[in-house]
Amino acid sequence: MTTETLQIDVQPIAKSRIDEVDFDNLVFGKHHADHMFVADYVNGEWTDLKIIPYGDLSLSPATAALHYGQALFEGMKAYKNDANEVLMFRPLDNLARLNRSAERMCMPTIPESIFMDGLTTLLRLDAAWVPTQPDCSLYVRPYMFATDPYIGVRPSDTYKFVIFCSPVGKYYAKPPRVKVETEYIRAAEGGFGFAKCAGNYGGSLNPTRLAQEQGYDQLIWTDAREHKYIEESGTMNLMFVIDGVLVTPAISDTILDGVTRKSIIDIAKYWGMEVQERRVSVDEVIGAIQEAKLEAAFGAGTAVVVSPFAAIAHQGIDYTLPEITEESFTNKVYHYLSDLRMGKVADPFGWVIKA
């Protein structure tokens, strides 16, 4: 079976694994849908496009990505509308970011036709895996890595691009408690903090684990020079509602340009709310908590969607944050975004695309 637009060789699974999954108790990242899209970059072009049953990849022990970290990924979500059609949310924004990451990591970019045809063919084939349960979705994980079986330090000549999907529920079961990190850093100016590359996540694991041992769920990363300004969190961008204004650190080369973050900014503006993208100091946020001006602090990301924090810890003090009310911006934007993605409300932004 071959699709008409691009030559994608589709090899369907003999027997679906979908009955093995309890869709009423989905855990993030545990189950993977039946198929995956795979393309190989060889001799300067993407070739051998195929959809095959989800399964192990065979790799040389010398695979370049495993040694020098030429590896990057994206995170997107697909939903179903009432007519049972599969909807994608801003996939071209993810592709644009993937290609920005690729350029920084000296990797090839992915043409739109390959990305979109691979993605839509995969989503149509695995449409049954898109959950319809509340707060659930099909998480889509495109990623690329260097495949040269060579351990000299240089950019690889060959790469593999894969997309697989996972039915998921909420990323955080309850509002996370986050700690302001003032010892370790995530990214520095001129580095690659803006890129969604594997190393940015690998380097965050030990500081995050140390915080978890102290009873926190995640970190709030601060700037590398002074530990004074808020950057992002391990799994999300950071946003605050202070005195009725949506305040968020401006995108820079140390901060990931989150698709959920920029969607929330556009929605807030559409609703007539003031939005400030700028430097946000830790002192400003702690001061706003102390003066009862901070209405909410939350993480925004594909995986976490909108995730209000229960507490922020700084210099050994835990600051408990206000409960999220029905009427709060956080609650309203979460539900609006969910409704938009599931086609339950009109889409004035043109963000939702049928697979």
Q: Which of residues 176 and 294 has its CB atom nearest to ligand COI in the complex?
A: 176
Q: How far is the CB of 74 from ligand COI (least distance, A)?
A: 7
**Cα→Cα distances 324→119, 291, 297, 329, Å:** 36, 18, 10, 9
| Alpha helices per DSSP H over 105-183 | 112-125
CA–CA gap between residue 252 and residue 187 (Å, rounded): 11
Q: Which of residues 254 and 302 has its CB atom nearest to ligand COI in the complex?
A: 302
CA–CA gap between residue 294 and residue 282 (Å, rounded): 13
Q: How far is the CB of 256 from ligand COI (least distance, A)?
A: 9
Q: Which of residues 75 and 118 has its CB atom nearest to ligand COI in the complex?
A: 75
One DSSP character per residue, 200-260 reads HHHTTHHHHHHHHHTT-SEEEEE-TTTS-BEEEESSSEEEEEETTEEEEEPP-TTS---HH
Q: How far is the CB of 336 from ligand COI (least distance, A)?
A: 19
Q: Which of residues 148 and 301 has its CB atom nearest to ligand COI in the complex?
A: 301
Specify the amino acid at residue 179.
K
CA–CA gap between residue 105 and residue 68 (Å, rounded): 10
Q: Which of residues 131 and 301 has its CB atom nearest to ligand COI in the complex?
A: 301
Q: Which of residues 49 and 303 has its CB atom nearest to ligand COI in the complex?
A: 303
Q: How far is the CB of 214 from ligand COI (least distance, A)?
A: 21
Q: How far is the CB of 10 from ligand COI (least distance, A)?
A: 26
- Please give the residue whose beta carbon sits closest to ligand COI in the complex: 75
Q: Which of residues 122 and 294 has its CB atom nearest to ligand COI in the complex?
A: 122
Q: How far is the CB of 60 from ligand COI (least distance, A)?
A: 26
Residue carrying structure tokens 């559409």: 270
Q: How far is the CB of 303 from ligand COI (least distance, A)?
A: 3
CA–CA gap between residue 224 and residue 179 (Å, rounded): 16
Residue 137: both structure tokens together: 């979705």
Contacts of 282 (CB under 8 A, 6+ apart): 180, 220, 222, 227, 228, 229, 230, 314
HSE (side-chain half, CA atoms, 13 Å) at 268: 24
Q: How far is the CB of 89 from ligand COI (least distance, A)?
A: 11
Q: How far is the CB of 259 from ligand COI (least distance, A)?
A: 9
Q: Which of residues 125 and 197 has its CB atom nearest to ligand COI in the complex?
A: 197
Q: Which of residues 230 and 300 has its CB atom nearest to ligand COI in the complex?
A: 300
User: Beta strand pairing status for 137-146 and 76-80?
Assistant: antiparallel
CA–CA gap between residue 50 and residue 122 (Å, rounded): 10
Task: Answer yes or no: are the C-beta atoms of 36 and 54 closer than 8 Å.
Answer: yes
Which chain residues interact with ligand COI by CB under 6 A? Answer: 75, 201, 235, 301-303
CA–CA gap between residue 263 and residue 82 (Å, rounded): 23
